[in-house]
Structure 1
Amino acid sequence: MPDFNDLTLLPLCVGLTLIGLIASWAAWRRRGLNAGIRGVAWSLLPVALYLTNLLELLWDVVKASVDWVTQLIFSPTVWAGIALFGVSVVLFVVSGFVKGRTAPKAATKDSPKAATGQLPQTASAQPARAPKASKPGKKAETSEEFDEIEDILKRHGIN
């Protein structure tokens, strides 16, 4: 792509601004003040970009992007890099699935619990105990509370 210098950019920007101002005047006559003001705002942008040197920056970005795309399309080393990136992503996803399917290290292959993914209980583990009911009346009271909760849940369609 050719590089533009100041001698080519300034007349281009001034020309675009003049064409935009003429179109803005026409828009104001046909569609009203709002359209005309919006057209003037758009028309002033080329000269503003030129005066702030943003036009050259924008040109450099476009040029670098086009160069990168052409290098990407025609370079076998870049395609090899893209292939390796794809393989890396696939391996990362597969490792997540493999991690979820492996049995814990504490269970052995021959153990029937290894297939279910449960850990065997050790001697220090104690079974869960049922809460003690201190009074017979209190047990009936909690049972009624649970019955009320069940009724509320059934009314709302939650089982």
Structure 2
Amino acid sequence: MPDFDVSTMLPLCVGLTLLGLIGSWFAWRRRGIAAGTRGVAWSLLPVSLYLTGLLELVWDVVHSAVSWVTHLIFSPTVWAGVALFGVSVVLYVVSGVARGRSPKAPKEKKPASPAGELTATGPAPASAAPAKAAKPSKGKAKQQESSEFDEIEDILKRHGIN
């Protein structure tokens, strides 16, 4: 693309605006005021862009984008970079799949210490204490359940929940 030239852009913009205004007049006659007004709005854009200096900015942006795309398409170095990026993504995905399938090493079990005994990590939880008592009889189990429900009912009543 050639560089931006002010001396050729002004006549080009004025010509585009005049052609657009003529087309807008015909659109107004055939399709109504809405189509004609919209045509006038589009027709005034080339001259307004030139007068505000935005036409040169638009020209530079389009010129830069086109040169970047042509460099991207025709450069073997860029395609090598794209290929390496693809390999990187594939390797990352494969590592995630392999991580999920790898066998995990079994954790060593520590011997349970009696409840209340202090260890290096703190007191052992009550669930870690060895079970010494045999199963309670059915009568004791019902009595234990009812006492638990009584406690729950008391708590609910204190909070006003019935």
TM-score tier (shorter): 0.5 to 0.7
CA distance in 1, matches of 2:49, 2:88: 42
- Alpha-carbon distance in 1 for matches of 2:25, 2:57: 30
Alignment equivalent of 2:145, drawn from 122, 126, 134: 134
Following superposition, the deviation at residue 95 of structure 1 comes to: 2.2
Amino acid at match of 2:4: F
Pick closer, same or farther for the CA change 1:98–1:8 going to 2, 3 Å. same
Query: Does the alignment pair 1:35 with 2:46?
Result: no
**Pairwise CA RMSD:** 2.7
Change (3 A) 1:121 1:28: farther
Q: Deviations over 1:47-66 (max 9, x none)?
A: 12112222112211221122
Residue 14 of structure 2 corresponds to 14
Runs of 4 or more consecutive aligned structure 1 residues displaced over 4 Å after TM superposition? 119-122
Superposition deviation, residue 81 in structure 1: 1.0
- 3-state SS of the aligned residue for 2:2? coil
Question: Which runs of 5 or more structure 1 residues have no equivalent in the other structure?
Answer: 109-118, 139-159
Equivalent residue number for residue 52 of structure 2:
52
Q: Deviations over 1:58-86 (max 9, x none)?
A: 21122112212222222221111111111
| Amino-acid identity (%) | 67
**Which residue number corresponds to residue 78 of structure 1?**
78
1:121: Cα distance to partner? 6.0
Taking structure 1 as the reference length, what is the TM-score of the superposition?
0.65
Aligned residue pairs total 123
Structure 2: unaligned runs, 5 residues or longer: 113-123, 129-141, 150-162
TM-score, normalising length from structure 2? 0.64
Q: Which moved more, 1:61-70 or 1:11-20?
A: 61-70
Distance 1:24 1:16 in 2: 12
Aligned letter for 2:34?
N
Task: Give the greater-gyration-radius structure (CA).
Answer: 2
Deviation at 1:96, TM superposition (A): 2.2
